[in-house]
Amino acid sequence: MRTGDVRLTPTPHDELMEPDLRVGAVLRGALADALALVLPVACAGCDEPDVPLCPTCAGQLRPQPARRALTVTVWSGLPFHGVTARVVRALKEDGRTGLARELAPALRAAVDAAAGDRRDVVVVPVPTSRAAFRRRGYRVVELVARRAGLRTARLLLTARRAADQRGLGRAERRRNVAHTLRARAVEGLRVVVIDDVVTTGATLDEAVRALREGGADVIGAAAIAATPSRMNRL
C-alpha cells in the first residue's frame, strides 16, 4: 500500500455492510462474461474493435485529481468528458462492469486526496436508487470502490424518492433532493462520502447534510469524475 493511502480500519459498522452482489447480479455478470466470448467487443472509449478498452483510452483514465468547494471539498479523479464520460456511461448504462477496474484508480486518488493523512476514515457511498439497482443489478460507485480496494459502509439510506434530476439546474436539484437521505449509526465517525459522477453537487450536499445531522464529521467527498468546468484542476 502506498504511503498516503487511506487505510480503513474495521469499524463496528462492518456488520451493516451487505454483500452487494445478489444472485441476480451474479447471474447477469456471468451472462455478460459468457456473451463477451461470442459477441464482438469494442473499446468503450473509441470503438476500436476487439478490446474492452484500448491502451490509448486507458491512458486517458490516469487520475487527474481536481477539487471544488461545495458544503465540503469535493475531489474528483477525472474530468467528466471525452473518454472518461464514455467509459462511465458504458459502465452505468451498458452493464460493462469490467470497466470498474479501469475507473478504480481515479476514485482511489480522489478518496486519498479527500482523506488526507487520516487513517480512521469511513467511506460512505451515496445510495443507489432502488430503480437503478433493479435496472443494473449493481451499485456503480460501490463496485468501483471495491475494485479500488476501498472498504465502504452503507450508512446512508434513501428517506424518500427524488424526482428525476435530469434537466434541473442546481437550485432546483437542491430543492428536489432536500431531505431525501438519512444516515444511520454515524455519530462520531469521520466520513468521506463518495459518488460516481458529480455534476451540480446537489446530491453530495444532501448526503453531507444527512451525515452531519446524524452526528458524523464529514471531512470531504470524492467521486470518480466531475463536470470539468466546475472543478479547479491542481
CA–CA separation, 45 and 88 (whole Å): 9
58 binds Zn ion, rule: CB under 5 A:
no
52 binds Zn ion, rule: CB under 5 A:
no
Interface residue with Zn ion among 6, 8, 43, 72 (CB under 5 A) is: 43
Minimum distance from CB of 108 to Zn ion (Å)?
22
Q: Residues near 32 by Cβ (< 8 Å), separated by ≥ 6?
A: 95, 96, 97
Interface residue with Zn ion among 45, 79, 127, 214 (CB under 5 A) is: 45
113 binds Zn ion, rule: CB under 5 A:
no
Minimum distance from CB of 81 to Zn ion (Å)?
15
Interface stretch with Zn ion, choices 22-30, 46-54, 191-199, 213-221 (CB under 5 A): 46-54
CB atoms within 10 A of CB 215: 12
**Residue among 183, 184, 202 at smallest CA distance from 74:** 202
The gap between the terminal CA atoms of the chain, to the nearest Å, is: 24
CA–CA separation, 213 and 168 (whole Å): 26
143 binds Zn ion, rule: CB under 5 A:
no
Question: What's the Cα-to-Cα distance from 204 to each of 102, 181, 199, 200, rounded to whole Å?
Answer: 23, 10, 10, 9
61 binds Zn ion, rule: CB under 5 A:
no
Nearer to Zn ion, 21 or 58 (CB): 58
Interface residue with Zn ion among 57, 87, 177, 226 (CB under 5 A) is: 57
Contact 123, 156 (CB under 8 A): no
99 binds Zn ion, rule: CB under 5 A:
no
87 binds Zn ion, rule: CB under 5 A:
no
Nearer to Zn ion, 81 or 175 (CB): 81
